[in-house]
Each structure stands twice: as structure tokens, then as C-alpha cells.
């Protein structure tokens, strides 16, 4: 069936927006290079492999991004293979940019700035640059003559040799007589690694020139295992290999000290992932003598890493530091010498295996997630000092400041010299402002956290606060990249994500994770499709009772048992893009190679629709509109051969209409409707009226406004999502600049000042003697309080609550009538968001009183479900430890049809295998309970210290996976989404009731 074409509406206008990063605080990607200016204090640059460059802001101790103006077409400028800051005119800075040297990328460029990177001019190069290629932490390849700063040299990849500029980088000429453009290829059999790495670094000897006259002596390191260090003594007119140089390894960095010693770090791989042997050498440029000064020489079996980052203290030329390139176990090692490499000390030493003696403390409060969800198992710490430490630098103005890049962040210290006096070096995260993650998918659910992210390399986060680093990654189950994530629109707490687990290290690993609390806690599914390696995309039914997973390898599968069993979907190709209808829980959609499919039975079977004209290749973003059954948008295609654009269906994909006013589109998302509008705001990554950008439509695509500008383009972005709770707010996932979000600036239909309340959580005891009003302080910011609601019920002003100025008093009489559990009170203001006060209601009238406390919430609050998911926290309120083997917890429920039952413990600090579950049938059943689950502990669980608590994440199901109806069950908490005291779940020590009310 042919599709219609919507007539073109008005041209897109521009809306003023303010753009910020969603804060992770730790970077989240590889930092291959850090460059200090030698003339201006605190002028520091960091380069990344896919996220552009940054400049240090000393006033805020954070980094300022310099590459956000990079557009869609010239995306490869975000790969920075080399950077140089001018030692004569510090306002000048240069970058060699280009991301890949593979045949599908375009040529690179030298970018130059005269205002420290605020704006750039570009000189195209006749070859490619590899900012994300092997050897990218070698360097620096781009250097400025310290005596005559109009002269620059650049060492190219791919056999293109050495290049020179004499006009501040505006034009370049090949140095035709440079003898060795490099021979080393990382992996000849791999299309990514089969290119010549080329020149690795260039170093001037500033002593061989005077101000205004060209420096005469230069050293060049080449990725070659035979002839790899060359010298010129005539300003680059002629070159010779230095006699006696070491062979067999590749030179990563060459640093010349002020007293004339050239230090070189070597590895047998170019990095950043490889390297298993290496050495450190010193070349005395005056005598011509080479000396192996390796902290651990390559001849030793203790050397299994090679060397990467290398620094010489400009203020103390005999002080040298070097880092292991990849000491994966137990941790990286930093070495320091005060005597030119004659002797070394390590930042940690063995102290009787598995103990280690540390010369450092490690503060990750700026990005607490850097543990990556991994518990320390001596001798391996968590977090680690790092890996892929390809660059390490000491501040030329301050011997106490050192920074080094890792595969996940940038660490540093401001008291480095404490190392030399037996003190403790204080390492901390110094990556504030750097946001380098690659985003796979973004979700902004209607409740819970404002944002969930699926990311490359570090899995992703639940972002409870956009301006505060998350405390942890999504780490149970554990994998590096989350490829797909979705939530149940009508039960947003239920969330599913898919990745690629490491089955080689854990045969019971799973590539699918589930959460019943909006991503706060996760557990792995009990099973997965046979033979899959994971990946792909996932879609969750509107009510959460069905999951459809399009794996990366074995096809499309569905589960109606919460991931406990999977069945192949029929009628749908492998690799199809999938999405769920956000209203009808039985309906799913799929796209593959220009064809559109629909399922009306929860993903069991798909049927090809008559829709035609969709693109057969290229980008594909498929999403359904919340609150509107059958309303589907598709963005995708490419311009070769086409078609390319944005399509809309209102009949569940039976037909689509292509929007004529959108030339190209690569992503689509939805946010809160504009005031006076009933249709959600539509957001697209698109080309409209010949302009690439991010656009919003408040009228279902009839008209558009561009919400970004040319200074905020972020290269080739990957995904877009509106906020369903804040009109005008849009989240954009980038490929190397993390997550950015935009809000209307000073108007444009979006709120500027948000009202807040304090506190946002409180507790209330229904026991008469303990009842008390709750006082709430409002910060109005120019708004007014319109109402307070609890679900669909509006509280009565003057009776249920009283307003006095900026204080609201919630009446204890109102609260006493609320059920035990969590009562969410929404404060609705005249503009902006509606903050929620979560009141935990308990009743201690006749509760057990002892040394235990049980807190709980239900992972899923759906009325009917096949798996009940209590989330429990056991707290020792006494003064002495409690042996957990003496503790029992009971959860009361109705079985709703007699069947065998199975118990699962997904996670606990004491180990899931140490948690037991027994099903007990009540002798005298009651309307709200005929069974209870008794949770216990083995002796292996140990004891619970006074004042401490443990989490116990459990679930149980019937043998045939038939449904329970949990509404009305005695222990069921219908509204809770976080741990709170719960007296309807009882706790016992040696059979004695310590907590709660038995039914």
C-alpha cells in the first residue's frame, strides 16, 4: 500500500535553549592525552578519542568542552589524535582531528585557534587522522617550536610521514626526506587494526635555539620495532636514526628533561588495549649513551604490561614517573624516580599476598560509580587506579600536581611530592566537566527518576538528579555496554535492559537484566534464549507482562514469565527493530529492511503490514506515543539511496505518512505537551529547511522549531527523548559527549524557575501517641501552590492541609486515615514541575518490639503478575551482632490457585546462595493470606553487626508461571517504591517475634 505525503507547513524557526550536560562526574571514556602549557600557569588541555577536547578552568576545577560546535557532517573532528598548546603565545592551540583511518571515514584536518579553543579555523589534510585508532595515546604527534612558534611539526599515520608548517598551521608541507614513516601494523587481519600507526611523538630540544630563531634539534619516535627514534640537528632539514637505540619495542612517549636526558617509554603494543612487555630507556643527548632504566625490565617475569604514560618534572629534571600501560591484574602501577631512573618506588607494593601496602588514598566521591559495581576481592581493589594509562603529566609550574588518563576517567593529585617523604598521595577524580560516554538509548519515564541511560563501556545509569553524579552504574547483571532498554508505560517501575555478558568468566551470566523499581536495583533474568550472545534491542509491554527481545544473533524472542522462559517469535526477521505500544499491552511493532510488522498477542507472532515506502537501510528509530494506541513514529533511512526522513502512522503501522517538511531524520522522541495542547511534544534529530539540528514540534509535526544552535551541535548524536514531566526539556544522547539536555531559555513555552519542597520524604506512625503533623517548606521561585493531590484525589485545603506563607502543614488527621505503606503527595504549582512528598505510613500499635527491623517495598505493584518481588532490608536495631542463621522473615500472601512454587534470591550482600526460602501453608487461612514465604539464612551468611543492614532481593513464582493477584495480600505494599518500615512483614530471632504484626 502506498503511503501518503503530508504537505509542507511553515519553515522551521529557532527557539532559544540553554544546554547542559547530564552530570556523571567521571568522564566515562578514554583520556589519551593531557597537555600543560609551559608558559601560562593552569592552562591545561585534555584530548579524547571520540569526544573532542577540553580546557581546564582553574576557578571551578573543572573542564570546559571545546568541540561542541562540531556538526553532523564533520563529526570526525571529535576524534583528537594530537594537541599542541603554544609555549610562546599561550592563546594559540592546535589539534589534529579525524577519528578513523579506515576507508569509510573522510580525511582529517589541523584545527587552530587564537583564543584557547573558543573558536577554530580549519586546514584540511590530504590524508586521514586516527583519533580513535590504535596508538592514540602515543604522543604528542603535533608540536610547536618553543623558540619560533610559527613553526609546527606533525607526525602522520598511514605511512604519510612527517609534515611541517611555517605559518602557524595554516598550510602544511611534507618533510620528504624523513626516513621512516613507520611500519608497524597492529593486526593485519583486522580491518580496524590493519593500518600503519606511523609517527608516535615529536620532541624539541629548546636549548638548541633562541627566541625568534628555529630550534635546531628535534627527536621523533616512530611506531617501528627496529628503527624508531630519529634526530635532526638542523631544524628538520636532515634526519638520522640515533645509534645504539633499543629495538624490539615501540616508543610511546619521548620526554626531554631540561638537563638533556631523553626518556622514552616502550611497549610491545601500541595500545590502548594491548601491551604485555616493555622497557623504559634514557638517552643522554650529550654523551650518546643509552641506559635501560626500567622499573621492572622486560626480561623479568614480573613485567607483563609494558609502559605507557611518562612524565619528567620540569622543575626537578631527575624526577621521572612512568605508568604501566595495561597492568590488568591486580591493578595499574605508577613508578617514581628521584635520581633519573637509577632507583624507583611504586605507588603500591606487595605486603604478603594478597595484601598490598599503598602509598595513596583514592577518592572517587566526584564519581562514586567508578567502582563499576565490582566488589574488591584482594588483591584486586575497586575502584582501580586505572587501565590504559597511556598518558601521565606533571604540572610544569607545580611539582605537586599530577594528572593521568585512564580508560574510564582522569585521576590526579595535588600533593604528589608527599610520595618522596613517606607520606600518602591523595588521588582523586579530576574529570569534572568531561562527559565522554557514548549513548545507546535514553528513557524519560513518567515517574521515578527523570532519566535512564544505556551507555557504551560503562553500562548506564539511573539519573535521579541531572546535576549530581550517580552513585552506581547498572551493574547487576554485569556487562560493559547496554544496547537496549525499555520500561512498561503503565507500570514504569518495571524496566528491562539487554547487553552482552561475559560468558567466558561466568557460565551463569545473563545478557538481560530486570528492575522493579525504575532502575534503582537490578537482577538478572533466570534464563535467556539458547545460544544468544545478547545485545540487540528490547521492548516491554505496556503493563510489563510481556518482554520482546530482538537479540543480535539468534532472532526475536518473547517472554511472558518475567524472563524465566523465552519462546521464538514467529513471522519476524532476525535483527528487527522493535517497540511496544504504550497503551495496548498485547501490541508490539517491528521494522526490518523497509518492512513493518505488528503483533497483537504479546510478541508471540508478528504479521507483515501493507505499509510501503519505508527506507530499506540506514538509521531506524521506531517509537510509539504514550497514551495513544496505534500512534507510531519512524525516523530513519539515508541519502544513498534513500528514502530518508520522518514517517507517522495512526493505525498501528498499517499505513504511514511521510512528513514533507522533514528532509532527513535519525531519531524521534516525545515529551510533555505544550500548554493548551493535547498531543505530546515531538522531538527529532533531523535536517529541516537544509539545517541539521534538534527540533521540536508542538502540533504533531505540522511545524517545527530548532532548539539547538550552531555552537551546540555535538557531532553525530545517537538518540533523543523528551521529558514527559517538563514541557520543553529534551535529552540528547551523543557519541562521545555524554548526555546533553536542553531547556527553553527565558521563555519558549518552558518554565524557567522551578518550585521545590523540603523535605521530599517523611514518615508517619498511625499509633495514636506517635501521630504528628508533617511540616513542608516550599521554595516558590515566583510560582504559587495550586493544589496537593494523592493519586486522583485532591486534598482539601484548610482541612487536609494548611498553607501559611511558604509552609504547608499536612494534617495528622488526614494522614491517620491513609493505609500503611507509602502515600505520595504531589504539590502542583502554577508553573514548572510538581515535586512529590513521599510519606511512609507505619502502625506500631501492636508491633513486635525487639532488635530487628524489616523494611520493604514490592518490586512490582501490578495487580496481577506471575512473579511476586519483595524487596527487603533487614536492620539490626540492637547493640550486639545477630547471627543471621537464627533470623527468619515472613511475607504473607494468597496463592490464588494451589501450585508448586519456586524461590529465587537475586541479590544480597551476604550472597544469594546463603539466603533460603520456604513456603508455608497457613493452618487457618484468612482473606488476605493463606501462605507465607519464610526467608532464612545459612551459616555462611555470617552475622549482622549492630546498627547495620542488609538488602535481600527475592522473588517467587508458581511452577506453571500462572498469575498471582497480589492486591489485598497482607504483606503487599501497593505504593512504596523505596525501602520503608513495613510492619506487615514480620521478623524473628530464634522463633521470637522481633518486628511487625502477624495477620
Q: Is the peptide bond before 126 cis (omega within 30 degrees of 0)?
A: no
pLDDT at 920 over 70: yes
pLDDT over 70 for what percent of the chain? 97
pLDDT (mean) for 924-948: 92
- Note the pLDDT tens digit of each residue in 261-298: 999 999 999 999 999 999 999 999 999 999 999 999 99
pTM: 0.81
pLDDT at 748: 40
Q: Which residues contact 506 (CB under 8 A, 6 or more apart)?
A: none
**Model pLDDT, residue 832:** 67
501-523: per-residue pLDDT in tens?
999 988 889 999 999 889 988 98
Q: How large is the average pLDDT for residues 532-552?
A: 97
Confidence of residue 752 (pLDDT cuts 50, 70, 90): very low
CATH topology of domain 43-242: Methylamine Dehydrogenase; Chain H (2.130.10)
pLDDT of residue 642: 82
Residue 831 or 537, more confident: 537
Distances (CA, A) of 506 to 510, 511, 665, 849: 9, 11, 41, 43
Does the pLDDT of residue 9 top 80, yes or no? no
Which of 57, 74, 457, 928 is the catalytic position? Answer: 457
Q: Please tell me whether residue 260 adopts helix, strand or coil conformation.
A: coil
Q: What is the DSSP string of 82-103?
A: EEEE-SSSTT-EEEEE-S--ST
Task: Tell me the CATH number for domain 756-842.
Answer: 2.60.40.10
pLDDT value for 836: 84
pLDDT at residue 635 tops 80: yes
- The answer, yes or no, to whether residue 749 has pLDDT greater than 70, is no
CA distance to 60, 303, 413, 737, 739, per residue, from 23 (Å): 15, 38, 22, 11, 8
Q: Which of 49, 105, 331, 543 is catalytic?
A: 49
List b or e across 617-646, with b for residues whose CB sees 16 or more CB atoms inside 10 angstroms.
ebbbbbbbbbbbebbbbbbbbeeeeebbbb
Give the full edge-to-edge strand order of the sheet including 80-85.
80-85, 93-97, 109-113, 121-124
Maximum mean pLDDT: which of 12-16, 95-99, 753-757, 781-785 = 95-99
Q: Average pLDDT for residues 1-6, to the nearest whole number?
A: 36
Percentage above 90 pLDDT, the chain: 83
Q: What is the pLDDT of residues 554-602, one digit of tens each?
A: 999 999 999 989 999 999 999 999 999 999 999 999 999 999 999 999 9
Distance CA 147, CA 212 (A): 6
- Give the Å distances, CA to CA, from 90 to 36, 113, 705: 11, 10, 40
Residue 516's pLDDT is what? 86
Sequential DSSP letters for 402-433: EEEE-SS-EEEES-GGGGGGT--EEEEE--TT
Which triple of cell numbers denotes residue 769? 501517641
Cα(514)–Cα(549) distance, integer angstroms: 13
Q: How far apart are the first and last CA of the chain?
A: 61
Whether 751 has a pLDDT exceeding 60, the answer reads no
Angle at 487 (CA atoms; ends 519, 697), nearest 5 degrees: 115
Phi and psi torsions of 266, nearest 5°:
-125, 150
Would you say the CATH fold of 756-842 matches that of 439-564+578-744?
A: no
Q: What does the pLDDT read at residue 6?
A: 41
Please state, in angstroms and rounded to a whole number, the distance separating the CA atoms of residues 333 and 325.
Answer: 9
Say if residue 775's pLDDT is above 50.
Answer: yes
Q: Is 457 an annotated catalytic residue? A: yes
Q: Is 167 considered catalytic here? A: no
Q: Does residue 110 surpass a pLDDT of 60?
A: yes
Place of cell 493477584: 965
Burial pattern 292-320, b for ≥16 Cβ within 10 A else e, equals: ebbbbebeeeebbbbbbbbbbbbeeeebb
Domain extents in the chain: 43-242, 439-564+578-744, 756-842, 848-996
**pLDDT per position as a tens digit, 454-505:** 999 999 999 999 999 999 999 889 999 999 999 999 989 899 999 999 999 8
- CATH architecture assignment, domain 439-564+578-744: 7 Propeller (2.130)
The class level of CATH for 848-996 reads mainly beta
Kindly indicate the confidence band of residue 864, based on its pLDDT and cuts at 50, 70 and 90. Answer: confident
Amino acid at each position: 500500500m502506498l503511503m501518503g505525503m503530508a504537505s509542507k507547513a511553515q519553515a522551521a524557526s529557532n527557539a532559544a535553549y540553554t544546554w547542559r550536560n547530564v552530570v556523571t562526574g567521571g568522564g566515562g571514556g578514554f583520556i589519551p592525552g593531557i597537555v600543560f602549557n609551559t608558559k601560562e600557569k593552569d592552562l591545561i588541555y585534555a584530548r579524547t578519542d571520540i569526544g573532542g577536547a577540553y580546557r581546564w578552568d582553574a576557578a571551578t576545577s573543572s573542564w570546559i568542552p571545546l568541540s561542541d560546535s562540531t556538526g553532523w557532517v564533520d563529526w570526525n573532528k571529535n576524534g583528537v589524535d594530537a594537541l599542541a598548546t603554544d609555549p610562546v603565545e599561550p592563546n594559540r592551540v592546535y589539534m589534529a582531528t579525524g577519528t578513523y583511518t579506515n576507508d569509510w571515514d573522510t580525511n582529517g584536518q589541523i584545527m587552530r585557534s587564537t583564543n584557547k579553543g573558543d573558536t577554530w579555523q580549519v586546514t584540511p589534510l590530504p590524508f586521514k587522522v586516527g583519533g580513535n585508532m590504535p596508538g592514540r595515546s602515543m604522543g604528542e604527534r603535533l608540536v610547536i617550536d618553543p623558540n619560533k612558534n610559527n613553526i609546527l611539526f606533525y607526525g602522520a599515520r598511514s605511512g604519510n610521514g612527517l609534515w611541517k608548517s611555517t605559518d602557524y598551521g595554516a598550510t602544511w608541507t611534507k618533510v620528504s626526506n624523513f626516513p621512516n614513516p613507520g611500519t608497524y601494523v597492529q593486526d593485519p587481519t583486522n580491518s580496524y587494526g590493519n593500518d600503519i600507526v606511523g609517527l608516535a611523538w615529536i620532541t624539541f630540544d629548546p636549548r638548541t635555539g633562541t627566541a625568534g630563531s628555529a630550534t635546531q634539534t628535534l627527536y621523533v619516535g616512530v611506531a617501528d620495532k627496529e628503527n624508531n627514534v630519529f634526530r635532526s640537528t638542523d631544524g628538520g632539514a636532515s634526519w638520522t636514526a640515533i645509534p645504539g637505540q633499543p629495538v624490539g619495542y615501540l616508543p610511546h612517549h619521548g620526554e626531554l628533561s631540561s638537563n638533556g636526558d631523553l626518556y622514552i617509554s616502550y611497549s610491545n603494543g601500541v595500545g590502548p588495549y594491548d601491551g604485555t612487555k616493555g622497557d623504559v630507556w634514557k638517552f643522554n643527548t650529550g654523551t650518546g649513551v643509552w641506559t635501560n632504566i626500567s622499573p621492572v625490565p622486560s626480561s623479568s617475569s614480573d613485567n607483563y604490561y609494558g609502559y605507557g604514560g611518562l612524565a619528567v618534572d620540569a622543575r626537578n629534571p631527575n624526577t621521572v614517573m612512568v605508568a604501566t600501560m595495561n597492568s590488568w591484574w591486580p591493578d595499574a602501577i605508577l613508578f617514581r624516580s628521584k635520581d633519573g631512573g637509577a632507583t624507583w618506588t611504586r605507588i603500591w607494593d606487595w605486603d604478603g599476598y594478597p595484601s598490598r601496602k599503598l602509598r595513596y588514598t583514592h577518592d572517587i566521591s566526584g564519581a562514586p560509580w567508578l567502582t563499576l559495581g565490582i566488589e574488591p576481592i584482594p588483591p584486586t581493589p575497586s575502584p582501580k587506579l586505572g587501565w590504559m594509562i597511556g598518558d601521565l603529566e606533571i604540572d610544569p609550574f607545580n611539582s605537586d600536581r599530577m594528572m593521568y588518563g585512564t580508560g574510564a576517567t582522569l585521576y590526579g593529585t595535588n600533593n604528589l611530592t608527599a610520595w618522596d617523604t613517606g607520606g600518602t598521595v591523595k588521588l582523586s577524580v579530576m574529570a569534572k566537566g568531561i562527559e565522554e560516554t557514548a549513548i545507546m538509548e535514553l528513557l524519560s519515564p513518567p515517574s521515578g527518576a527523570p532519566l535512564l541511560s544505556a551507555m557504551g563501556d560503562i553500562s548506564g545509569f539511573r539519573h535521579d538528579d541531572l546535576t549530581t553524579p550517580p552513585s552506581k552504574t547498572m551493574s547487576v547483571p554485569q556487562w560493559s555496554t547496554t544496547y537496549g532498554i525499555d520500561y512498561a508505560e503503565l507500570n514504569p517501575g518495571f524496566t528491562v535492559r539487554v547487553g552482552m555478558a561475559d560468558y567466558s568468566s561466568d557460565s551463569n551470566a545473563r545478557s538481560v537484566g530486570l528492575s522493579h523499581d525504575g532502575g534503582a536495583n537490578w537482577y538478572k533474568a533466570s534464563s535467556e534464549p539458547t545460544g544468544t550472545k545478547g545485545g540487540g534491542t528490547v521492548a516491554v509491554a505496556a503493563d510489563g507482562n510481556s518482554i520482546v527481545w530482538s537479540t543480535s544473533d539468534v532472532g526475536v524472542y518473547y517472554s511472558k514469565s518475567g524472563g524465566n522462559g523465552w519462546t521464538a517469535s514467529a513471522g519476524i526477521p532476525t535483527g528487527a527493530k522493535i517497540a511496544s505500544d504504550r497503551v495496548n499491552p498485547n501490541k508490539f511493532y517491528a521494522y526490518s529492511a523497509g518492512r513493518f510488522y505488528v503483533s497483537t498477542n504479546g510478541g508471540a507472532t508478528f504479521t507483515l503490514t501493507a505499509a510501503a515506502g519505508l527506507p530499506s537501510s540506514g538509521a531506524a528509530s521506531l517509537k510509539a506515543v504514550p497514551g495513544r494506541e496505534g500512534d507510531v513514529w519512524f525516523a530513519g533511512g539515508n541519502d544513498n539511496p534513500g528514502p530518508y526522513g520522518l514517517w507517522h502512522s495512526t493505525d498501528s503501522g498499517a499505513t504511514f505518512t511521510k512528513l514533507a517538511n522533514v528532509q532527513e531524520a535519525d531519531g524521534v522522541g516525545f515529551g510533555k505537551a505544550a500548554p493548551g495542547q493535547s498531543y505530546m511534544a515531538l522531538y527529532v534529530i533531523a535536517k529541516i529547511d537544509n539545517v541539521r539540528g534538534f527540533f521540536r514540534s508542538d502540533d504533531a509535526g505540522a511545524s517545527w522549531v530548532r532548539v539547538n544552535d550552531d555552537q551546540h551541535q555535538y557531532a553525530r548524536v545517537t538518540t533523543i527523548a523528551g521529558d514527559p514531566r517538563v514541557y520543553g526539556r529534551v535529552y540528547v544522547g551523543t557519541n562521545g559527549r555524554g548526555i546533553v539536555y536542553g531547556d527553553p531559555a527565558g521563555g519558549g513555552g518552558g518554565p524557567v524557575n522551578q518550585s521545590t519542597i523540603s523535605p521530599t520524604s517523611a514518615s508517619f506512625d498511625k499509633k495514636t501517641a506517635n501521630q504528628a503533623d508533617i511540616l513542608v517548606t516550599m521554595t516558590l521561585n515566583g510560582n504559587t501552590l495550586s493544589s496537593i493531590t494523592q493519586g486522583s484525589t485532591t486534598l482539601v485545603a484548610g482541612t487536609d492541609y494548611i498553607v501559611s506563607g511558604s509552609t504547608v502543614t499536612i494534617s495528622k488527621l488526614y494522614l491517620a486515615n491513609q493505609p500503611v505503606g507509602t502515600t505520595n503527595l504531589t504539590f502542583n504549582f502554577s508553573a514548572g514541575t510538581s515535586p512529590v512528598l513521599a510519606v511512609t505510613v507505619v502502625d506500631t500499635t501492636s508491633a513486635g518490639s525487639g532488635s530487628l527491623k524489616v523494611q520493604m517495598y514490592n518490586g512490582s505493584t501490578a495487580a496481577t503478575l506471575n512473579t511476586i518481588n519483595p524487596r527487603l532490608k533487614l536492620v539490626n536495631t540492637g547493640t550486639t551482632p545477630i547471627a543471621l542463621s537464627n533470623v527468619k522473615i515472613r511475607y504473607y500472601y494468597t496463592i490464588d490457585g494451589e501450585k508448586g512454587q519456586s524461590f529465587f534470591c537475586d541479590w544480597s550482600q551476604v550472597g544469594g546462595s546463603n539466603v533460603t526460602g520456604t513456603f508455608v501453608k497457613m493452618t487457618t487461612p484468612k482473606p488476605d493470606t493463606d501462605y507465607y514465604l519464610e526467608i532464612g539464612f545459612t551459616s555462611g551468611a555470617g552475622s549482622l553487626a549492630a546498627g547495620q543492614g542488609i538488602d535481600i532481593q527475592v522473588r517467587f513464582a508458581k511452577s506453571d508461571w500462572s498469575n498471582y493477584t497480589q492486591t489485598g495480600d497482607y504483606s503487599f505494599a501497593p505504593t512504596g517504591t523505596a525501602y520503608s518500615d513495613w510492619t506487615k512483614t514480620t521478623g524473628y530471632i530464634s522463633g521470637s517475634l522481633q518486628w511487625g504484626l502477624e495477620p
